[in-house]
Each structure stands twice: as C-alpha cells, then as structure tokens.
Amino acid sequence: EVQLVESGGGLVQPGTSLRLSCAASGFIFSSYSMNWVRQAPGKGLEWVSYISSSSSTIYYADSVKGRLTISRDNAKNSLYLQMNNLRAEDTAVYYCAREEVYGDYDWFDPWGQGTLVTVSS
C-alpha cells in the first residue's frame, strides 16, 4: 500500500524552528518528485514547496522563501521540511504529497494525513 506519514508538528513560539518529516512506503520513493502543501485552520490549500526526485530542482512559494527548506533522503525514503523563523501565519496542517506525472500533466496523489504546526506565544 502506498503510504505517506508526516511527523514533527507541534506548538512552537514565533521565531523558532521546527523540522517536519514525511516517511514514504509502498512505492519507489527515489523515482518521484514530492511536495509540501499546507492548510491554515478553516482555510484552503496552499502549495508550499516542491523537490524533484534527485533533489536537483526545488521550488518554494513566495510566502515561505528564505525560511523553509525542503530536502529528501532517498536512502531513508523520507522527505523533510526545515522551518526556521516561524511566524503565526505559518500555523497550519502540513501535508506531504507525491507528484504523479503523465506526459506534461501532473497531480498530487496520495497525500499524507498531515501534521499540525501551531506558532503561538
């Protein structure tokens, strides 16, 4: 079964750091690009970051550029999101999602169950 399991969320103070992890199983992790998507409480989905299968290409949303860093360890089948200088507006459930590609088209499937990050003093 293809599965993504996030961990590492919690309650942190503004200005501090947190590292999220996403453990992948049931597929060849090293063959897929991966994404982080977040959802603030009661709000919609916001794409956060993308990393290609070999880590050669990385993208960030403008809202997180310079503070969040995506990485992966293909040997450990794991995706990471290092979050620095956290702000209240970073409060959200963070999902990791596998990117499926067919020709020029791509979509996110599956998604992990999410991990909640709360930034508050």
Partner 1 sequence: DIQMTQSPSSLSASVGDRVTITCRASQSISGYLNWYQQKPGKAPKLLIYPASSLQSGVPSRFSGSGSGTDFTLTISSLQPEDFATYYCQQNYIAPRTFGQGTKLEIK
Work out the number of other CB atoms within 10 angstroms of the CB of residue 75.
8
Beta-strand ranges (E) seen in 40-114 are 45-51, 58-60, 68-73, 78-83, 92-102, 105-111
Among the candidate windows 8-16, 68-76, 84-92, 111-119, which touches partner 1 by CB under 8 A? 111-119
User: Residue 102 CB, nearest distance to partner 1 (Å)?
Assistant: 8
Which residue in 29, 32, 36, 50 binds partner 1 (CB under 8 A)?
Answer: 50
Under the criterion CB under 8 A, does residue 61 sit at the interface with partner 1? yes
How far apart CA 117 and CA 113 sit, in angstroms, is: 13
Instruction: Look at residues 61, 83, 63 and name the one whose alpha carbon lies nearest to residue 71.
Output: 83
Residues 114, 45 contacting (CB under 8 angstroms)? no
**Are the beta carbons of 112 and 4 closer than 8 angstroms?**
yes
* Among positions 8, 21, 69, 110, the unique one binding partner 1 when judged by CB under 8 A: 110
CB nearer to partner 1: pick between 16 and 113: 113
Question: Least separation, in Å, of the C-beta of 60 and partner 1?
Answer: 9
Q: Residue 9 interacts with partner 1 (CB under 8 A)?
A: no
Query: According to CB under 8 A, which one of 47, 53, 78, 91 is a site residue for partner 1?
Result: 47
Q: Where along the sequence are the contacts to partner 1 (CB under 8 A)?
A: 35, 37, 44-47, 50, 59, 61, 95, 100, 104-114
